């Protein structure tokens, strides 16, 4: 019952926050709702800075999740036993399986004609920022 009350209160707080956020919109929030083709150079540079901050925070959250997942590897019994036999079982240290690195490949096909050139520029910038965070 208490948990349900906390969930309801949490939802009320979120709703109030969203309402306040709509009332007090920043310039970036207003720009996000406009067409890219109608923005001037200063507004585009503001959006680019916002995109860089957003991508950095997104990648930070993602890397934190990867670190948590990395610590949850399975125990490698064969290596654990063979290592413990070398010291007659004292002290016994657990050996964990190392996760194989899987490289993700992203192929992007985008239209770069004049009508969508600014949108394509933002997509290219976002992909570049992600690539910069994960070199190699």
- pLDDT tens per residue across all 136 residues of the chain: 555 555 555 665 666 666 665 666 677 777 778 888 888 888 888 888 888 888 888 778 777 766 766 666 777 888 888 888 887 777 677 777 777 777 777 788 888 888 888 888 888 888 888 888 776 6
CA torsion 55-56-57-60 (nearest 10°) is: 120
What's the DSSP call for residue 106? -
Q: What are 1's two structure tokens?
A: 């019952």
Q: What are 67's two structure tokens?
A: 């670190």
pTM for this one? 0.45
Q: What are 105's two structure tokens?
A: 């490949």
The C-alpha atoms of residue 134 and residue 126 are separated, in whole angstroms, by: 13
Residue pair 97/76 in contact by the 8 Å Cβ criterion: yes
Q: Which of 40, 136, 133 is nearest to 48 (CA)?
A: 40
Q: What are 117's two structure tokens?
A: 């050139």
Residue pair 120/112 in contact by the 8 Å Cβ criterion: yes
- Summarize pLDDT for 14-27 with one digit per residue, the tens: 666 666 656 666 77
């Amino acid at each position: 019952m208490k948990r349900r009350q906390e969930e309801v209160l949490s939802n009320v707080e979120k709703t109030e926050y969203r309402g306040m956020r709509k009332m007090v919109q920043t310039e970036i929030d207003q720009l996000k709702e406009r067409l890219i083709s109608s923005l001037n150079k200063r507004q585009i540079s503001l959006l680019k800075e916002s995109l860089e901050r957003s991508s950095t925070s997104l990648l930070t959250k993602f890397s934190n999740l990867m670190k948590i997942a990395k610590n949850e590897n399975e125990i490698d019994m064969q290596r654990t036993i063979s290592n413990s036999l070398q010291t007659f079982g004292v002290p016994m240290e657990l050996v964990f399986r190392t996760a194989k690195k899987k490289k993700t490949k992203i192929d992007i096909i985008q239209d770069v004609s004049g009508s969508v050139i600014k949108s394509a520029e933002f997509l290219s910038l976002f992909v570049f920022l992600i690539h910069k965070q994960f070199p190699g």
